[in-house]
Amino acid sequence: LQVEAELRCAIETGELRLHYQPQIDAATGRLCGCEALVRWLHPVRGLLPPDQFIPFAEQSGLIVPLGEWALREACLQQVRWRDAGLPPLDVAVNISALQFRRRDFVATVARVLAETGADPARIELEITESALMDATPELVASFDQLVALGLTLALDDFGTGYSSLSYLKRLPLRRLKIDRSFVDGLPDNPEDVAITSATLSLARDLSMDVVAEGVETEEQRTYLRSRGCGAMQGYLFSRPLGVKAFGEWARERT
């Protein structure tokens, strides 16, 4: 309960930060986008990773204001980068199931886009399979409305949840993110190879793009590129970086 009160306060007083992990175009090797990942700059405990507070945020419902803050901040950052003359970047933001399920979610997103002036075509919302467990007609409708706003929808942690594949048919998802637990064993582990190549082929047949997460080795990169994976993210390229470090990283590579 103490953490909850502290986190509520942190959102209001501006102790949260976004770090950005580069995403690389597999064909060209160039920076094509980034994923925004929240951190808590705690006055006593230092920079806290999300696994130390996102679970509390989910339990308490604070993930709703936290998630809105993250979306707004990512949109503002995209505008700052644009104003600073960086080449246009896709920015992906993680959205919790609790956020998606709120009746006012689409209106909130529309308001944040309007207030920040961000380019919706370059904002991607990442949702996890668990958020789609019971994709009601209302949920499907709100996905269509988000696409109508110009946003891209991506499915995070693909293959790790309990959902059926039918949501791929019903929902306007543009990208699949291959979970790093499957990238880990590439290219030697036969199960990881089977799951990854099946995912890539499924995505190709459904005209979806794929991002592989947790790419750490040259061998993983070579394998994924040879199998037609469009984009990659992982420590091989960069850890998530603060705004300043990300800007320097990006400038060195364009």
- Site residues, ligand G (CB under 6 A): 21, 37-38, 49-51, 54, 63, 67, 70, 94, 96, 156-157, 180, 213-216, 234-235, 240
The count of residues interacting with Na ion (CB under 5 A) is: 2
CA distances from 95 to 19, 71, 128, 129, 217 (A): 15, 8, 8, 11, 28
Q: Is residue 124 a contact point for Mn ion (CB under 5 A)?
A: no
Q: For 151, which DSSP code? A: -
* CB-closest chain residue to ligand G: 234
Total residue count of the chain as it appears in this document: 254
| Selected range binding Mn ion among 94-102, 131-139, 202-210, 222-230, rule: CB under 5 A | 94-102
Q: Quick one: 68 or 213, whose CB is closer to Na ion?
A: 213
Which residue, 51 or 205, has its beta carbon nearer to ligand G?
A: 51
179 binds Mn ion (CB under 5 A): no
Contact characters 129-158, Mn ion, x per CB under 5 A: ---------------------------x--
Nearer to Na ion, 6 or 58 (CB): 58
What own/partner pairs with CB < 8 Å and gap ≥ 24 does 181-189 have? 181/214, 183/212, 183/213, 183/214, 183/215, 183/216, 183/220, 183/224, 183/234, 184/214, 186/219, 186/220, 186/223, 186/224, 187/219, 187/220, 187/222, 187/223
Which residues, listed in sequence order, are joined to residue 152 by a DSSP beta bridge?
Answer: 124
Token pair listed for 210 = 């794929």
Cβ-based nearer residue to Mn ion, 21 or 116:
21
- By CB under 5 A, the residues from 137 to 156 that bind Na ion are 156
CB 195 within 8 A of CB 216: no
> With CB cut-offs between 5 and 8 Å by kind, which of ligand G, Mn ion, Na ion, none does residue 74 bind?
none
Give the containing element (helix H, strand E) for 68: helix 63-83
Tell me which residues in 211-240 interact with Mn ion (CB under 5 A).
none
- Distance between CA 36 and CA 39 in Å, rounded? 10
Q: How far is the CB of 126 from Na ion (least distance, A)?
A: 7
* Nearer residue to Mn ion within complex by CB, 23 or 142: 23
Q: Helix and strand tally (H, E) in the chain?
A: 11, 9
- For Na ion, the binding residues (CB under 5 A) are 156-157
For binding to Mn ion (CB under 5 A), which residues are involved? 94, 126, 156
